[in-house]
Amino acid sequence: MRAGALKLKAQLLCGDALAMGPGKAALLEAIDAAGSISAGARSLGMSYRRAWLLVDEMNRCFADRLVDTVSGGGTGRGATLSVTGRAVLTAFRAIERRMMAAAEGEAYDSLRELLRDTPQPAEDR
């Protein structure tokens, strides 16, 4: 997320694992919209394997699974967000919105006034 020259990135850690971040939140939204991990991954330009590994990591980091799957093709198959998955996604996006709101105001304005538009060239030494 960018607010002018300020880049904000929320990440939720589970030990050394990244339980939730902007990319995983986008993957959850894509899975929810598409109804499957593979279709959600495709919509993000991601391989199924990469998406599956991210979902597996999220599912292992939270007390309850975030994504429920039913394997195979046909009616009733695919992936859906669990109640916990929806709650985690909603809370994470709320944190991101609050971070953006916190970035607006005097402190950011003061920093922005002191910041150059582009860096000066490096000095030869």
pLDDT band, very low/low/confident/very high, at 111 (cuts 50, 70, 90): confident
E-strand stretches of 42-119: 67-70, 78-81
pLDDT mean across residues, the chain: 91
User: Which sign does the torsion angle of CA 65, 87, 54, 47 carry?
Assistant: positive
Task: Count other C-beta atoms under 10 Å from residue 51's C-beta.
Answer: 24
**Mean pLDDT score, 25-39:** 96
Rg from Cα positions in the chain: 19
Output the pLDDT for position 75: 67
pLDDT of residue 4: 74
Mean pLDDT across the stretch 28-45?
96
- pLDDT given at position 72: 67
